[in-house]
Amino acid sequence: MSILPTTRRTATPTSQRLGHRAGEVIDRSRTVSFTWNGRPLSGHPGDTIASALAAAGERVLSRSYKYHRPRGLLTADYLDPGAFFQVGDEPNVRGAHRLLEAGMAVSSQNTWPSLRFDLKAANGLAGRFLATGFYYKTFIKPEPLWPLYEKVLRTFVHAGAITPDPGAAYYDKRHAHPDVVVAGGGPAGMAAAVAAARAGASVMLVEEDHQLGGHLRWGDGAALARLRALRAQVAAQPGIEVLTDAVVTGRFDDNWIPIVARSLPGITERLVKARAAVLVVAPGLIERPYVFAGNDLPGVMLSTAARRLVNLYAVRPGSRAVVMSANPEGDAAVADLEAAGVEVAAVLDARRQQGVARAHGRGGLRAVETTDGRRIEADLLVTATGWTAPTSLLNQSGDRPVYDQAAARFVPDPDRMPANVLAAGGIVGDGTVDQLVEQADAVGREAARRATGGSAAGTVPGLRPAPHPELFAAGTGGFVDLCEDVSAKDITTAVAEGYDSVELAKRYTTVTMGPTQGKLETVNAVALVAHATGRSIAETGTTTWRPVYAPVTLGALAGRPREPVRYSPMQPWHERHGATPLVAGQWIRPEHYGDPAAEVTAVRTAVGIIDVTPIGKLDLRGPDVAELLNLLYVNKWSKLGVGRVRYGVMCADDGVVLDDGVTGRLGEDHYLMSTTSSGAATVWEWVENWLQTAHPEWQVHVTPVTTAYASINIAGPRSRDLLSRLTDPEDVDLSADAFGYMNVRTGTVAGVADCVLWRIGFTGELSYEIHVPASYGLHAWERLVAEGADLGVRPFGVEAQRILRLEKGHAIVAQDTDGLTQGFSAALDGLIKLDKDDFVGLPELRWQQGRDSHPRLVGLQPLDGTVVPPEASQILRTDGSIAGRVTSSRMSPTLGRAIGLAQIDPELAEVGTRVTVRLPDGRDVAAEVTGLVHVDPEGERQRV
Amino acid sequence: MMLLPCPWCGPRNATEFRFGGEAGRRPDPASASPEEWRRYLYFHTNPAGWSTETWYHGAGCRRFLTVERHTVTHEVRAARDTATGTTGEGIS
């Protein structure tokens, strides 16, 4: 596909590369080949994609966002709105910034249907959809047409293509703690960095471009000499880390400074998270475009763009030029163009009221119409009409820039800046290079002083903004925002429609909301709003410059995510034996080993073992542990004897159930607390919270030992037989008389000393939970499997355990309760001791019991035992209103029927009540409220 | 991201801490009225200014801290260990 503009369809682009320039950054000794819309082209190392295209004579580089107008280079730097390209599978590449690489496949974006397509037709078609505020007007009604609108718009606005394949892209992150971050590597930034480093500060010098130097790089011989001297100083000064092709993307609290760096070997992008004592903001100034009819034609560019092309890349930007200049930089552009062999047909001196009224051409500039009515044939129009201070980082530090009418730009207000942020160079004011460097040198020293707490404060010389004529728009139309295709007329229309504040006009028209983020457009937009409303620019104010300063890729933000995963020491065995993994928080545990129902039956009829290592375990020592337990649990703990364990439930002070588990007393002042697997971290923090903030006088030491032990529950009628094969009765006597239900012992298991054994019954069977020093966990597990072969031992997973506990009616916190479930709604009536002086949640539970209107936790069985209502199915009253929900539901292998637990309103909570359960598919099934315990309500099986 | 001056660990990123809300006094559970108790549970002054707060340094010393912080400027004028009162003067 050709990308030639319609008006030059038959012309062949010819090389615009100039002879050697003193400041050129290209390496002419080598050639880099690439393709442009499929066509082979070449440039040199050091070229940007756009400079190589310009050198090859390409002037139309893209079609605009809404109207698909042809666009060329405007700024020839990172911000250039005319040079967004697709490079391979990477969209929206900043073509006037990204360096050319061999083999790049570059294509233009927004070229629907092609760059040959008739412009007028596209515009006519677009007009229906793209009026001022079209986002709000076009799409409100009729709603059914939304999909059509979307389709049409997508055709108009495709901004490149992405691929779901991340390819070889590699993103990483780095933390840095420099004393001083200098944002901007122009003369001021370099001088500030050198001064700060000389004063002993560690400095990170961050420059958006590929080399240090800022505007000195495209300056005259004296500027280049100064550039070499400053670069030599930076290179020779220890303590400065230079990041080029890197951008400070924001300033957050306490100088938390994200920096995105590119051009690093082997790394696509790196996010540097810097915490700097002092931030020096030295971005220089951004040249501001001028708004007039035809200002978006290829061939219309800023003076800095023309000088970059000529002096950095040795590219002739046109053959016959008109220059509108209001400042010395514009005058210097005239000299540069003449030196490059460009015929300068006219210089319009804006300081003497000369100027551009309109630009004419189709697909490219043909003629310039001046304010005094002249028409000058030209293919290049260069404007130098003023500067914008990029104050984003200062705004984010609390500064509010003020409009300086004499200088025709917003300037920072140093009084509003915090002590850890300083500004240097052109953003503050104007001056000779010597003056800029002198001011920045003082700022650098002051930054180091503030960062390292050195000597007394020095004085920082001021920089005053130089007088400059106010030049924003010629009043002939044209585009304010070339990214978003917002015209001057759009702004006027928005104001006329009532959007008369700059913040409203911005949102209504989307001006400044494109990829350049207002850096080129904001001040012109403010000036147009001011003009349309009859207010001054100072009264109108500016929009807020928020983070991020430059767009950031998702890759840079994501970096290399590492989700920690926890395994028990028995994981290799589980994997070898076909366990289906279950993700439970950070833990990966066996859900089952192929047949959870058979695992349940094994536990009920023989013996099963389950890896319960993730159960939270806290080792509590000290004379006041019983006091602590009494405060945190709803039941009583003062009389728990040594060698005993007790089940406890914790509530928060709002009465809501927090966690549960058993705690055993191992010695006089020594307890082991267990928590739910998911609550381990929460309960540890909870315990510390009450100890540290409510009872610092209590002597209790808490040690989390969750992963210090591997935990195995051995459950089933043959569990005692099995465990006795691994223990010595002289050490741990497992007989029912010596080691009864709800007791704890310590001893040797499978030859491993210092194990904790407690006899408890989550499954409802005779069962022992053993906690083995973690490094012996796999050994103990394998011994249990080997020794239990003739007993029918079988490993079981979380699913079988869920069924077993449901058969026994044991609630699971956060499954059968939720964030609103207070204690008496969790079937804890027998456990909660309201006669205690205090425990966490006591008053709320007392009041809950008094109200007696709370939902109850009940057992539930569908009348048709083959129907297992999905968990969260609603329970309905006869009038169809919701009276509760199913919280747990399974097919019971032991009973051969569906069983469940439910939260249900009190009037339906009586055992025997018939209720209706609505399934997710809309069907209703009848069910009966039962007691909580479906299997062995008397608990005889676990007390043998 | 703001820094918090932990009296044990020095200045640390706020993400190392869990915010525990405005520090409040727990009423006597034996005598508190429902109004008093729920004021303690749910009502906070949420000032635009100085606030006394609890922060838990979960990714550090695991101590609960009482911090006086300005909610507008994030300036911290005092931070002490809630249990011991340690201010960590000199840690930086």
- Express each pLDDT in A508-556 by its tens digit: 999 999 999 999 999 999 999 999 999 999 999 888 888 999 989 989 9
User: Chain B closest CA to A851's CA: distance in Å?
Assistant: 13
Contacts of A520 (CB under 8 A, 6+ apart): A74, A75, A79, A81, A286, A288, A289, A388, A481, A482
* Structure confidence at residue A7 (pLDDT): 43
pLDDT in tens, A634-690: 999 999 999 999 999 999 999 999 999 999 999 999 999 999 999 999 999 999 999
**Domains in chain B, CATH or no CATH each:** 17-81 (3.30.2270.10)
* Structure confidence at residue A16 (pLDDT): 95
* Structure confidence at residue A142 (pLDDT): 61
User: Chain A closest CA to B16's CA: distance in Å?
Assistant: 14
Residue A85 in this model has a pLDDT that exceeds 80: yes
For residue A543, give the 3-state DSSP assignment: coil
CA separation, residue A923 to residues A390, A876, A920, A926, A928 (Å) = 63, 12, 7, 10, 17
Taking CB atoms and an 8 Å limit, are A843 and B63 in contact across chains? Answer: no
Q: What is the DSSP letter of A555?
A: H
CB A665 within 8 A of CB A638: no
Task: Indicate which of B64, B66, B84 best probes the interface with A, i.e. most A CBs within 10 Å of its own CB.
Answer: B64
Concatenating the DSSP letter of every residue in A594-624 gives S-HHHHHHHHHHSEEEEE-TTSEEEEEESTT
User: Which of B30, B37, B84 is the closest to A837 by Cβ?
Assistant: B30
User: Chain A closest CA to B55's CA: distance in Å?
Assistant: 10
Cα–Cα distance for residue pair B16/B8, rounded to 1 Å:
13
Concatenating the DSSP letter of every residue in A924-944 gives EEEEEEE-S--S-TT--GGG-
* Structure confidence at residue B91 (pLDDT): 56
At A3, is the pLDDT very low, low, confident or very high (cuts 50, 70, 90)?
Answer: very low
Q: Which of A650, A654, A674 is nearest to A813 (CA)?
A: A650
Q: What is the DSSP letter of A315?
A: B
Q: What is the DSSP letter of A309?
A: I
At A284, is the pLDDT very low, low, confident or very high (cuts 50, 70, 90)?
Answer: very high
Q: Which of A708, A711, A718 is nearest to A749 (CA)?
A: A711
pLDDT in tens, A708-730: 999 999 999 999 999 999 999 99
Q: What is the DSSP letter of A801?
A: H
CB A863 within 8 A of CB A895: no
User: Chain A closest CA to B49's CA: distance in Å?
Assistant: 16
Residue A144 in this model has a pLDDT that exceeds 70: no
* Structure confidence at residue A10 (pLDDT): 41
Taking CB atoms and an 8 Å limit, are B34 and A847 in contact across chains? Answer: yes
At A2, is the pLDDT very low, low, confident or very high (cuts 50, 70, 90)?
Answer: very low
Task: Indicate which of A417, A685, A691, A700 best probes the interface with B, i.e. most B CBs within 10 Å of its own CB.
Answer: A685
**B80 part of contact set with chain A, CB < 8 Å:** no
Locate the DSSP E strands across A104-243: 105-108, 171-176, 180-183, 203-206, 240-243
What's the average model confidence in pLDDT over A739-761?
A: 96
* Structure confidence at residue A614 (pLDDT): 97
* Structure confidence at residue A148 (pLDDT): 67
Number of helices and strands (H, E) in chain B? 1, 6
At A153, is the pLDDT very low, low, confident or very high (cuts 50, 70, 90)?
Answer: low
For residue A649, give the 3-state DSSP assignment: strand
At A416, is the pLDDT very low, low, confident or very high (cuts 50, 70, 90)?
Answer: confident
Q: Tokens 């709803």 appear where?
A: A634
Q: Tokens 């002086």 appear where?
A: A837
* Structure confidence at residue A562 (pLDDT): 77
* Structure confidence at residue A769 (pLDDT): 97
* Structure confidence at residue A146 (pLDDT): 64
* Structure confidence at residue A64 (pLDDT): 86
* Structure confidence at residue A155 (pLDDT): 60
CB A228 within 8 A of CB A212: no
Residue A166 in this model has a pLDDT that exceeds 90: no
* Structure confidence at residue A415 (pLDDT): 80
Locate the DSSP E strands across A691-809: 701-704, 709-715, 743-749, 752-759, 767-773, 793-795
Comparing alpha-carbon positions, the chain A residue that sits nearest to B11 is: A254
* Structure confidence at residue A11 (pLDDT): 47
User: Chain A closest CA to B85's CA: distance in Å?
Assistant: 11
List residues bridging with A359 in a β-sheet.
A368
What's the average model confidence in pLDDT over A126-142?
A: 59
Output the pTM of the full model.
0.87
What's the average model confidence in pLDDT over A106-126?
A: 60
CB B9 within 8 A of CB B57: yes
Comparing alpha-carbon positions, the chain A residue that sits nearest to B38 is: A654
H/E stretch holding A421 reads strand A421-423
List residues bridging with A84 in a β-sheet.
A94
**B50 part of contact set with chain A, CB < 8 Å:** no
User: Chain A closest CA to B88's CA: distance in Å?
Assistant: 17
CA separation, residue A248 to residues A117, A191, A197, A260, A368 (Å) = 40, 18, 19, 7, 39
Pairing of the two strands A882-892 and A897-904: antiparallel
User: Which of A256, A653, A692 is the closest to B63 by Cβ?
Assistant: A692
pLDDT in tens, A560-609: 877 889 999 999 999 999 999 999 989 999 999 999 999 999 999 999 99
User: Which of B2, B20, B29 is the closest to A843 by Cβ?
Assistant: B29
What's the average model confidence in pLDDT over A838-854?
A: 96
Q: Above pLDDT 90, what percent of chain A?
A: 85
Residue A122 in this model has a pLDDT that exceeds 90: no
Set of chain B residues whose Cβ sits within 8 Å of the Cβ of A651: none
pLDDT in tens, B17-74: 999 999 888 999 999 999 999 999 999 999 999 999 999 999 999 999 999 999 998 9
Taking CB atoms and an 8 Å limit, are A254 and B37 in contact across chains? Answer: no
Using only C-alpha atoms, chain B has a radius of gyration, in whole angstroms, of 14
Pairing of the two strands A616-621 and A645-651: unpaired
HEC profile of A221-252:
HHHHHHHHHHHHHHHHCCCEEEECCEEECCCE
pLDDT in tens, A199-243: 999 999 999 999 999 999 999 999 999 999 999 999 999 999 999
Q: What is the DSSP letter of A385?
A: -
Q: Which two tokens stand for residue A721?
A: 């037989």
Set of chain A residues whose Cβ sits within 8 Å of the Cβ of B13: 256, 275
Q: Which of A240, A275, A282, A278 is nearest to A259 (CA)?
A: A275
Q: Above pLDDT 70, what percent of chain A?
A: 93
Buried b (16+ CB within 10 A) or exposed e, A864-890: eeebbbebebbbbeeeeeebbbbbbbb
CB A413 within 8 A of CB A397: no
| ipTM for the complex shown | 0.97
